[in-house]
Amino acid sequence: MLLIAVFTVLGNAASDIWLVGTIVIFIAHSAATHQWQWLQTRWFQLAIVFWIWLVITSLLSQWPESSIKVSLPWIRFPLFAIALPILLGLQFRMRHILLASLVTCLLVLAIVLVFEKINNPGVERLYGVWSQDQSPKAGWLVAGFGLPVAYWALSKMLESATAALWALPLVAILVFSATLTGEIYITLSFLLGIALFLVACRMSVKLSAWAFLLGLLVLLLIIWFAPETAQRFQHSLTTRLPWMPSSDYYTPWMRGLAAAELNPFLGIGAKNHMFYCEETAELLSIGGGVCFPHPHQLYIQIAAETGGVGLFLFLLMVAALIYEIVKGAHWRTLPLPTKAALCLVITVLWPISTYSHAFGQHRNFFTWFAIAWALSFVSKKNTSRGNSNHPTA
C-alpha cells in the first residue's frame, strides 16, 4: 500500500486507493486487535463533530443532493491522518519504504517537469503527468510530499554535517520543482515551511550559509532556465497577492466573505458556492465576471459553507491538533520531531494562503498526508524505535 505513493503522480485514482486502502487496513487492524484508543484522541473527536455539522449544513442547504456527495465522505481525510502514523508505528521499516516511495515520486515528477518546461517554455503553469483540464496540480504534490521529505533531509543534516552533501541538493531539487510548477502561492507556502523549520532548529551559521547559497543558486537557475516563471513570480508578488484588488483571487475571496456574512450560522452548504453566487445579487456585484466553484481559501470557504459554527469547530480541531503535537513538551525546549511536526502543520494550515476545494480531492489529500506525517513525527512508537531527537526513519 505504501508503494502507491509512487503512482500518485498519475492523479486522483492512486491517491484515493492509497487513502481508502489505508483506512480499511487500519479499521481491520483495530477490530482484530481490539485497539480503539485512537477514538479518544481529542482532535479526531472534534473532527467527527465538525463532520456531523458539515453533513447537517449540507442537508439543510438549498442544494442538498450536490452538497452531501462532498460532505459525507470528508471524514476519510481525518481518518487517514490518524491511521497512517499508527500503521507506520507497527513496523519501523515501513517508514523507510514510504520515504523511498516519496523520494522516487518527487524525483520522477521533477524530471517530467523539466522536460515539460523545455517543450513548453512559454506556459505559466506546469501540470506534470496531468493534462491541463484535470484538477490535480503538480505543485500540490511537490508541497504535500516535498515538505515531509525536506524535513527528513534537513534533520539528517542536523544530525551529521556530512549528510549535507546529499540533503541540501535534494532540498534544492524540491525547491526548484516547486518553483518550476508556476504555482505561486503553493511555492511560497513550501518556502515558508522550509524557513520555519530552519529558524525553529536554529541551524548553525555554517549550515545556514550553505543553505542560503544553495537557495540563491536555485533562484539563479530558475531565472536562467525559466525566465517566464521568474517574471510571473515577480508580477504575482507585486500585483496578485490575494488581498490586492488587482489579484484574480480578490473577487472569490470577497465573494466568499460576503456569503459567510449573509449566512452566519448554517452557511450555504458544502460545494454550493457557485450555485449561491449565481443566484445572489450581493455576490454578483462584487468584481463582476463568472462565479467560481469555491472561494479559493480554506477558512473563507469553511465560514461560507458551514457558517460561523462550522468555522469555530474547525478551528477547535486545528487547535486540538496542535496541542496533540506539543503536549508534554516545554515550548522553550521542544525536541526536533515536535518542531518538525509543528512547522509542518502550521505551513499546510497557514491561514493567509490560497486553497482549492476545502472538502474534496485532490489538494486535500496532500494536506492531510502532511498532517499525518506530522503526527508520525511525534508518535510514541515511531520516536521510541528511532532516534528520539530526529523525525527520521
Domain-embedded: residue 365: yes
Q: What confidence score (pLDDT) does residue 370 get?
A: 92
Q: What is the 3-state secondary structure (H, E, C) of 171-214?
A: HHHHHHHHHHCCCHHHHHHHHHHHHHHHHHHCCCHHHHHHHHHH
Residue 176, C-beta contacts closer than 8 angstroms, at least 6 positions apart:
110, 218, 221, 222
- Give the model's pLDDT for residue 72: 95
State which residues form the domain around 79: 2-385
Cβ-proximal residues to 282 (8 Å cutoff; 6+ apart), any chain: 258, 262
Sequence letter at residue 84 = L
Of residues 87, 74, 77, the one with CA closest to residue 25: 87
**CA 53 to chain CA mean position, Å:** 23
Asked whether residue 392 is domain-assigned, the answer is no
Task: Assess contact for 47 and 9: CB atoms under 8 A.
Answer: no
Contact, 22 vs 85, CB < 8 A? no
The helix, strand and coil proportions of the chain, stated in percent and rounded to the nearest 5, come to: 75, 0, 25
Nearest to 314 by CA among 74, 119, 105: 74
- Mention every residue, 6+ apart, whose C-beta is less than 8 A from residue 354: 185, 186, 242, 249, 296, 297
Whether 390 maps to a domain, the answer reads no
Q: What is the pLDDT along the chain (393 residues), one digit of tens a residue?
A: 555 565 565 566 777 888 889 999 999 999 999 999 999 999 999 999 999 999 999 999 999 998 999 999 999 999 999 999 999 988 778 888 888 889 988 998 899 888 888 888 877 778 776 655 555 567 888 888 999 999 999 888 888 878 888 998 899 899 888 888 878 888 888 888 888 898 888 766 566 666 667 767 777 777 777 777 777 777 777 777 777 888 888 899 999 999 999 999 999 999 999 999 999 999 999 987 789 888 989 999 999 999 999 999 999 999 999 999 998 777 778 888 899 999 999 999 988 777 778 887 667 888 999 999 999 988 864 544 444 455 545
**What is the distance of C-alpha 208 from the center of its chain?**
26
Taken in order 342, 168, 152, 384, is the CA torsion positive or negative?
A: negative
Q: Note the pLDDT of residue 205.
A: 59
Q: Which residues contact 105 (CB under 8 A, 6 or more apart)?
A: 5, 6, 8, 9, 141, 145
pTM of the model: 0.88
Give the pLDDT score at 354: 73
Question: Domain for residue 152, yes or no?
Answer: yes
- How far is it, in rounded angstroms, from Cα 369 to Cα 143? 11
Round to whole Å and give the CA distance between 391 and 382: 9
Asked whether residue 251 is domain-assigned, the answer is yes
Domain count, the chain: 1
